[in-house]
Amino acid sequence: MRPITYSRAPDTDTAIAAVSSDPTSDFLAGGTTEVDLLRQNVLTPRRLVDINDLPLTGIEATPAGGLRIGSLARMSEVAAAPVVRERFPVIAQALELGASAQLRNMASMGGNLLQRVRCSYFRDAESPCNKREPGTGCSAIEGFSRGHAVLGTSEHCIATHPSDVAVALMALDATVHTQGAEGERSYAIDDFFLLPGNTPHREHPMAHGELITAIEVPAAPVARKSLYLKVRDRESYEFALASVAVALSLVDDTVADVRVALGGVATKPWRARRAEDFLIGAVAERVNFEQAARVELIEARPTAMNAFKVELARRAIVRALETLAGNGSPA
Ligand SMILES: Cc1cc2nc3c(=O)[nH]c(=O)nc-3n(C[C@H](O)[C@H](O)[C@H](O)COP(=O)(O)OP(=O)(O)OC[C@H]3O[C@@H](n4cnc5c(N)ncnc54)[C@H](O)[C@@H]3O)c2cc1C
Ligand code: SF4
């Protein structure tokens, strides 16, 4: 048995100082990732610093029409907040389609962004895995890869990013605010999640001991008409095989503004910029939605086991766009 020290930080500075000064320590929020992986010997911290007393739970509308979510706000609280449901329904839907009610009550927004991959080789604590133990190889590439990524992969890792709400936040150009030993920082969400490349063990640019304090979503009128569509093996309590966050604004029948991001198919929450570029100014009809989906998936690199995800992602994009355009059945 490994001994673990537990302390409850009374304020933000103490929490950051405690973790920054000790490479064997981790923050503890809801614990739904951290404790799971600790029990499985995937994470081996010697010290847990509980951050649940920190004043980081607010969910506020910003004067400019955006949203600021404290990193310790629970998934269920954010999903239920009227400002989220009115201005950014895609965020509420992505949260409600994730995990289970009990988990959503425990799990924090900061912890959600930092949850770890569901790759079984990563989680068994034994198989060669470049993410868990750099340089040991990737067991999934020649192994069981049905749930793995088809976009943003490298020869060193093909694990799918698991968060649902991160996909909605990616579509909405959110910013992740942090505080660390070096002071405060802000990351555009697209820069916050790193592609695996040669360094799959690095999933974000934060230093050890850097604390996510808030997530900010800028005003986006387009988001009032937005949707999160999640395709999975069973209807609840399951991660996405493919998911899509879409926001759409039409003038007459033409696409005036659109946001598309994908989950379940990429190594990071995937902003579908090719699809967006194709759609702006196009007539909102199925043939254009299909072409947008095709151009987005053009660089997909599936394995033999997950080739079905390419078509699944294309169909999810088309269905979500059709639903928002009023041409299709509700998702
Ligand atoms: C059975 C199961 C099913 C799930 N299904 C889904 C799903 O369908 N969709 C989905 O999106 N998620 C799903 N999840 C993941 C779940 O949403 C995450 O485990 C949860 O959001 C993590 O939040 P937490 O507060 O419990 O984090 P913790 O477990 O406390 O922390 C997670 C990690 O983040 C670090 N951390 C936490 N907060 C901060 C912070 N503020 N700053 C810096 N570091 C921090 C911790 O040190 C740790 O490394 C599922 C989880 C389980 C167990
Ligand atoms: S896909 Fe990534 S997480 Fe899974 S075994 Fe390969 S390196 Fe590890």
Measured in angstroms, how far is the CA atom of residue 111 from the centroid of ligand 1? 4
CA 269 – CA 242 distance, rounded (Å)? 11
The answer as to whether 26 is a domain residue is yes
State phi, psi for 219 to the nearest 5 degrees.
Answer: -55, 140
Q: Tell me which residue has its CA closest to atom 6 in ligand 2.
A: 138
The answer as to whether 24 is a domain residue is yes
Atom in ligand 2 nearest the alpha carbon of residue 130: 7
The answer as to whether 293 is a domain residue is yes
pLDDT for 64 beyond 60: yes
Look at residue 1 in the predicted model and tell me its pLDDT.
72
The answer as to whether 307 is a domain residue is yes
Ligand 2: residue of 138, 148, 199, 265 to mutate (most ligand atoms within 8 A of CB) is 138
Measured in angstroms, how far is the CA atom of residue 169 from the centroid of ligand 2? 25
Look at residue 328 in the predicted model and tell me its pLDDT.
57
- Per-residue pLDDT band for 67 (boundaries 50, 70, 90) equals very high
Look at residue 235 in the predicted model and tell me its pLDDT.
86
Identify the CA nearest to 57 among candidates 4, 108, 121, 132.
Answer: 108
Question: The domain that contains 45 carries what CATH number?
Answer: 3.30.43.10
Measured in angstroms, how far is the CA atom of residue 324 from the centroid of ligand 2? 35
* Mean pLDDT calculated for residue range 232-250: 95
The answer as to whether 112 is a domain residue is no
Q: Quote the percentage of the chain above a pLDDT of 90.
A: 97
Number of domains in the chain: 2
Measured in angstroms, how far is the CA atom of residue 128 from the centroid of ligand 1? 24
CA dihedral 134, 140, 141, 142 (to 10 degrees): 120
The answer as to whether 127 is a domain residue is no
Q: Rounded to the nearest 5 degrees, what angle is found at the Cα of 266, between the Cα atoms of 262 and 268?
A: 90
CA 27 – CA 49 distance, rounded (Å)? 5
Look at residue 331 in the predicted model and tell me its pLDDT.
41
The answer as to whether 246 is a domain residue is yes
Give the binding-site residues of ligand 2, using a 6 Å CB cut-off: 117, 119, 121-122, 129-131, 138-140, 157-159, 200
Question: The domain that contains 244 carries what CATH number?
Answer: 3.30.390.50
Q: Tell me which residue has its CA closest to atom 9 in ligand 1.
A: 98
CA 326 – CA 323 distance, rounded (Å)? 5
pLDDT for 167 beyond 50: yes
The answer as to whether 55 is a domain residue is no
Domain ranges, residue 266: 236-325
* Mean pLDDT calculated for residue range 263-271: 98
Q: Rounded to the nearest 5 degrees, what angle is found at the Cα of 235, between the Cα atoms of 231 and 239?
A: 55
Q: Quote the percentage of the chain above a pLDDT of 70.
A: 99
Give tens-digit pLDDT for 110-161: 999 999 999 999 999 999 999 999 999 999 999 999 999 999 999 999 999 9
